[in-house]
């Protein structure tokens, strides 16, 4: 299918590896843990207690991210993960088409 839309074999292998890594990582780090009852979408870059213990740190974006969690559902996170793969395919197709254009 990837070859049929215009990707070469090397690019198709890149997409296949990227898809495998994205899906495996998502299932392992998010979906499986969510199914076991862990609120994975509430995880933040640092614990709120750590931020409270260090009120003098000038990290406004980090504080904002912790306060806003969760920003999306697991399904939305998966959608975002797959969108990244679509962007990769689109970029590879554009490069392949450009390489085939006569000068």
- The better pLDDT of the pair 43, 103 is held by 43
Element counts in the chain: helices (H) and strands (E): 5, 0
Q: Which two tokens stand for residue 9?
A: 């074999």
The per-residue pLDDT for range 69-86, each reduced to its tens digit, is 888 889 999 999 999 999
Return d(Cα 48, Cα 59) in angstroms, integer.
13
Instruction: List all residues 6 or more positions away from 63 whose beta carbon is below 8 Å from its beta carbon.
Output: 51
Is it the case that residue 48 has pLDDT exceeding 70? Answer: yes
Give the DSSP letter string of 64-81.
Answer: HHHHH---S-HHHHHHHH
Task: Evaluate whether 39 touches 74 at the Cβ level (below 8 Å).
Answer: no
What mean pLDDT comes out for the span 27-56? 89
Return d(Cα 86, Cα 89) in angstroms, integer.
5
């Amino acid at each position: 299918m990837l070859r049929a839309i215009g990707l070469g074999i090397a690019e198709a292998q890149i997409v296949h590896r990227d898809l495998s890594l994205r899906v495996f990582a998502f299932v392992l780090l998010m979906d499986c843990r969510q199914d076991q009852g862990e609120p994975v979408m509430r995880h933040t870059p640092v614990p709120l207690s750590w931020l409270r213990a260090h009120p003098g740190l000038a990290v406004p974006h980090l504080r904002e991210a912790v306060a806003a969690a969760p920003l999306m559902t697991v399904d939305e996170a998966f959608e975002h993960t797959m969108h990244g793969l679509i962007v990769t395919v689109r970029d590879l197709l554009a490069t392949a088409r450009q390489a085939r254009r006569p000068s």
